[in-house]
Amino acid sequence: MFVDARGKTCPIPVLLAKKELDGGCNDLTVAVDNQTAVENLTRLATSRGLQVSSEEKDGVFTVHMTGEGGSQAVSEPVYAACGPAGCGTAVFIGKDHVGDGAQELGYNLLKMALYTLGQSDDVPAYVLFMNGGVRLPAGDDQPVLDSIRTLVDKGAEVLVCGTCLSYYGLTDKLKVGTVSNMYDILSRMQKAAKVISL
């Protein structure tokens, strides 16, 4: 099966591929025109136990997935804070400061929030960066980067919006976390028992 997803923005290439895989396709090639889509499709294939390869020619990337993984995803970590609504906590960071008012104060408050989260014995399952929030894991503030790395080391999954990185010209500057997409970020929020927005 071949899917032409060139010119389509995140997360459409992933959704198109997911539709084919959910329908039972076990030999899929997707054409895209950017590296972020390649990474997102690769992660999708890997999460389903499929073999994946990619190549680029004249600005067009082809991602080939094959195997019997189909719609079966690999097992995920089990978090203590599970209930009827989901598991764990997702922390959504959509800007590089907390609240309104003084920008510098808001930045320092978010910096302290990340540090506090990292020092907690109950770290969130997911930390999700979108819009202006992507400036944090792609920035140069070492204490902020250290706090995010501490969260990763303690088991938090850190996802960073690839479209947002591209918009701010930060695609090549991400220092911690995984380049991701709207589909993955929203799915983590749906899986979580609780979502905290900073």
pLDDT digits (tens, 9 = 90+) for 57-105: 998 999 999 987 544 444 444 444 455 556 789 999 999 999 988 999 9
Nearest to 114 by CA among 136, 88, 131, 134: 136
The phi, psi pair for 133, rounded to 5°, reads -65, -25
Contact of 5 with 181, CB cutoff 8 Å: no
pLDDT digits (tens, 9 = 90+) for 148-158: 999 999 999 99
Homologous superfamily, domain 82-197: DsrEFH-like (3.40.1260.10)
Contact of 39 with 66, CB cutoff 8 Å: no
Whether the pLDDT of residue 131 is over 50: the answer is: yes
Give the separation between CA 147 and CA 25, rounded to whole angstroms. 41
Residue 65's pLDDT is what?
Answer: 95
Contact of 110 with 98, CB cutoff 8 Å: yes
Q: Do domains 2-66 and 82-197 have the same CATH topology?
A: no
Domain ranges, ordered by start, for the chain? 2-66, 82-197
Nearest to 197 by CA among 108, 130, 122: 130
Homologous superfamily, domain 2-66: TusA-like domain (3.30.110.40)
pLDDT digits (tens, 9 = 90+) for 10-33: 778 888 998 899 899 989 999 999
Q: Give the angle subtended at the CA of 115 by the CAs of 113 and 121, to the nearest 5°.
A: 100
